[in-house]
A and B are shown apart, each in its own frame.
Chain A
Amino acid sequence: MKLIKLASISKKLCMGALGAFLLIFLPFHMGMNLCILRDDGGEWYRNVCHFMGTNYIVKVFEVVLLACVLFHIVLGIILAIENKMSRPVGYAVANKSKTHQGSKFMIWTGGILLVFLVIHFVDFYFAKTGLVTGKYVVKTEKVEKAFQEKAMKMQQGQLKEADLKELQAQYMAIQSLSGEKVAKNGKYFINLTKEELQQTCGKDFKDYEPDFYNMAKEKFHNNLFVVIYLLAFIALGIHLYHGVGSVFQTYGLNIEKYAKTIDILAVIYAIVIPLGFAIVPLKVLLTAM
């Protein structure tokens, strides 16, 4: 019995296509992360995040990507169940055949990556959607502009006594932001908590973005957290090594002549990508950035 009525190879092709899409996404994410390493107080990284958070093409891409991840996971689980059903009675002695490295554990490394993804989303991604609170960044000029608009309204006598108090508090709050709450170039207020944000910009202010730079720095100073991330990257490496080779095989591109090249490519990819990701938390942790 099959859970999905589709030729086995078609299912594989879907799985491979989704995986391949994710393979393309990873270098982008990695490249973005590596901006953190630049000793500029998060300037570059902030700009990249701003672009990624506001560009419409990127936003569409993001939805597609999420869908891909979801289908990749669902299909992976379905295939794993189907495959289990193909051997209702198992062997007493576990199989000792030589297999492609990591190939037997795709569902498990995939599982680890899923757990990691949940943690990662809770820590970072959900801050963007407002599901969880994180740290925020706003442009100083935008804060000042918002304040000035409010002050203007006050002058025109449109505000009440209570609002006046609030405005005063807001002014005090803005003035109190200094040091690590202000970006090096002075153009941003950074690392703001939700409270600070509301105090400085007012409750209705929407023009802020999550401060991933400082959130990352904070998280990566936690040893346990870094260890979890590194473990996930090892799982990612294993998952990728088999994944890359598999895409070629599944799409029939694994021709004898290129088999070695493909394998080397897979090794390189499976080392470079996780390593690129791992450098950031390691650098933060080890150099007290």
Chain B
Amino acid sequence: MDFTLKIWRQANAKAKGKFETYKITGISPDCSFLEMLDILNEQLINDNIAHPVVFDNDCREGICGMCGLYINGRPHGPDDGVTTCQLHMRKFHDGETITIEPWRAKAFPVIKDLVVDRSAFDKIIQEGGYISATTGGVPDANAIPIPKPKADEAMDAASCIGCGACVAACKNASAMLFVGAKVSQFALLPQGQPEAKRRVVRMIKKMDELGFGNCTNTYACEAECPKSIKKTNIARMNREFICSKTSYTDK
């Protein structure tokens, strides 16, 4: 298969970026999107065309959350429920022009080419995305039975990989699905209750501070989440927030 690639190139955080167009030919439909970029990079080096395109990637099996490209108007490209690394070229048609952009959000500044800084997510988690159980001194694992449906729902919320596709897809660059998923996971579990009220207000506060937009319930986040995390997690977070704001003062 042959493709025309329009790729965002930006030398560093401060440089002005622009799109460059490259042609690539003879790609197998079974090739993954990132492998296609590997092939492109080999070409760019060997044919002295340009410096290789820099993009974040690591596990290449859809779980680390490192990769994330905005491909033809969709985070992680045209396939549903996958990360960029699991997107395969068979999802494109021969001769297609593919435009590749980095995640765009104020809270995710570009570092180079297609790489962005997502440390904002870590900062949100640090505000309360945990249960303060320091090592040791915890009860037996079976001490608290947790209804299976609740545990399953918590698992679904917890499957977030922190890739940032929700922010990239959202027209407001809002991080509500990411935060909602984490708040939900702990809100669903009995272990999460003692800190629930503090957790939700602090995480939201941090999210706002970091420059993410407001949620307008467009649900692009849900549509693009590679782990299919549901918008009901956002509703649950809203509920938790109301509950916290009306009955709790954070000191």
Contacts and interface: CB of A to CB of B under 8 A. Distances in A.
A246 interface: yes
B74 A96 contact: yes
A100 to B, nearest CB: 5
A10 B238 CA distance: 9
B113 interface: no
Contact of B214 (A8, A99, A259): A8
Interface in A58-93: 79, 82-83, 85-93
Nearest to B211: A86
A131 interface: no
A94 interface: yes
B28 to A, nearest CB: 25
Interface stretch (B45-53, B97-105, B135-143): B97-105
B104 to A, nearest CB: 5
B106 A252 contact: no
B172 A97 contact: no
A66 to B, nearest CB: 24
Given A90-B104, A91-B70, A254 B231 contact: yes
Contacts of B231: 249, 254
Interface residues of B, number: 49
A162 B218 CA distance: 70
Contacts of A98: 219-220, 223
Given A96-B72, A255-B232, A259-B232, A12 B213 contact: no
Contact of A9 (B8, B73, B106, B241): B241
Given A97-B169, A251-B238, A252-B240, A8 B204 contact: yes
Nearest to B234: A249
A46 B130 CA distance: 63
A96 B211 CA distance: 23
B223 A87 contact: no
Contacts of B173: 83, 86-87
A161 interface: no
Interface in B72-123: 72-75, 99, 101, 104-107
- Most chain A beta-carbon neighbours within 10 Å: one of B74, B232, B238: B238
Contacts of B236: 252
Contacts of B196: none
B169 A254 contact: no
A168 B208 CA distance: 73
B204 A86 contact: no
Interface in B44-72: 70, 72
Contacts, number: 142
How big is the A interface, by class? 35 or more
- Most chain A beta-carbon neighbours within 10 Å: one of B72, B215, B234: B215
A248 B72 CA distance: 32
B172 A100 contact: no
A94 B106 contact: no
A261 interface: no
Contacts of A259: 232
A93 B72 contact: yes
- Most chain B beta-carbon neighbours within 10 Å: one of A87, A94, A256: A87
Contacts of B99: 92-93
A252 B105 contact: no
Interface string A1-37: 1100001111111000000000000000000000000
A31 B128 CA distance: 49
A220 B249 CA distance: 55
Contact of A93 (B73, B235, B240): B73
A86 B107 contact: yes
A103 B219 contact: yes
Contacts of B241: 7, 9, 252
Contacts of A246: 216-217
A3 to B, nearest CB: 11
A12 to B, nearest CB: 6
Given A9-B215, A99-B171, A103-B217, 19 more contacts: A7-B205, A7-B208, A9-B238, A11-B214, A12-B214, A83-B172, A83-B174, A85-B211, A86-B212, A92-B8, A98-B220, A100-B217, A104-B171, A106-B216, A248-B235, A249-B234, A251-B242, A252-B237, A254-B232
27 contacts: A1-B211, A2-B208, A8-B213, A8-B214, A8-B215, A9-B215, A9-B237, A9-B238, A10-B245, A11-B214, A12-B238, A82-B213, A83-B173, A85-B213, A92-B8, A95-B73, A97-B223, A98-B220, A100-B219, A103-B218, A104-B218, A251-B238, A251-B242, A252-B235, A252-B237, A253-B235, A253-B239
Interface of B: 6, 8, 19, 70, 72-75, 99, 101, 104-107, 169, 171-174, 201, 204-205, 207-208, 211-220, 223-224, 230-232, 234-242, 245
Q: Rank and list the top 7 A-B pairs by shortest CB-CB distance, nearest first.
A: A252-B239, A86-B213, A83-B172, A96-B73, A97-B220, A103-B218, A254-B235
